[in-house]
Chain A
Amino acid sequence: MKYLAIPQKALASAVRGNFVLLVADSLRLLLPQEDVVALERLGSNQFPDSASGLFPYRQDEQVGQIVALSEQLLPLRVFPRERFLLSRLISAEHDFFLAWNEVRVLIDIELKPQPLPAVMQVPGAPIEAYVELDGMLVLCSTAAQLLAYNGVTGG
């Protein structure tokens, strides 16, 4: 199973696989492990404010940009000091890191994703379902859905 959130017929029935839990303050996302190609720890997260929401990243020989997302998946202009974990998502077009408070890799777990109510389903939205994980609700997405969502990349 490559994606948790699709196909629709898989929703509300149990799925098993490897996933990554990404936490940014009140935002809790669950992505298929295949969608997260790299996890790194940020050496220093002291950045000047950025109007674009893109923060420069230089570590070892890597150079790139970091985006810190809000609860609404919008790039924050002020980098939160609690974000010190980075993930790079699988993408042919985008080459940046997302910053998180907490990242957990969940191996071979069974989940029962619940589809969003019909009134909340919007074509192109980054979230189609949610699951309960350790007593908390987590939103299910994929790298493709996140990166296609305008807010994430400011596009």
Chain B
Amino acid sequence: MDAQLLQMIEGGQADAAPLSDEPRAAARLLEYRRGHFVAFPAHATVELVARPALLVVPGSPYYCHGLMAWQGRQIPLLDLNTLLRAYPDERAPAIDHVLVLAYQRAPLQPLEYGAVCAPSLLQMIEVADSQQCELPNHSDLWPLISGSCFRHEGNAVPVLDTGLLFAQAYL
């Protein structure tokens, strides 16, 4: 699905309305900050978890809340808002829900898991080629963690590559 989504977006046109017979790919839309969205390939989203138990790990990246217990594993919990702003939001609400994501370090490698804060509910949408647009320019990180972007209801929505998001610390 990921490759399909990316492939579809590559050939599209920015800001164009989807054509009725155009193939579409499922995606999950997350408003990580008011008015700011990212999307994940549908297959990469695993579960929404409420108020997870966290283990704070001193010295970890400033946008990482720590290790979260999930299904017998300890997985990293990231705050996309802090990562993309490059500094913590002092007025950010307490962690409520988090979205568990699957990723692979490389093709054919076993699935691994990480999580991001989900300050809003996920929206399930479908994306077509014709919605493709340029990545936003308000963060240098976009090209490092997302391979494509589409326009949805007037917003540029980067599609995050979970493998890249969890591959390394971005400092």
Contacts and interface: CB of A to CB of B under 8 A. Distances in A.
Verify that A and B bind, or say they do not: yes
Interface of A: 26-27, 71-73, 114, 116-122, 124-127, 130, 137, 139, 149, 151
Consensus secondary structure, chain A interface: loop
Nearest to A116: B57
A124 B171 CA distance: 13
Interface stretch (B15-23, B42-50, B73-81, B123-131): B73-81
Interface stretch (B59-67, B91-99, B134-142, B146-154): B59-67
Given A130-B74, A137-B67, A118 B61 contact: no
24 contacts: A27-B56, A71-B58, A72-B58, A116-B67, A118-B105, A118-B168, A119-B78, A119-B165, A120-B57, A120-B60, A120-B61, A120-B169, A122-B169, A124-B59, A125-B58, A125-B59, A125-B60, A130-B57, A130-B67, A130-B74, A137-B55, A139-B55, A139-B57, A149-B59
A119 B55 contact: no
Contacts of A149: 58-59
B111 to A, nearest CB: 13
Interface string B6-28: 00000000000000000000000
A122 B165 contact: no
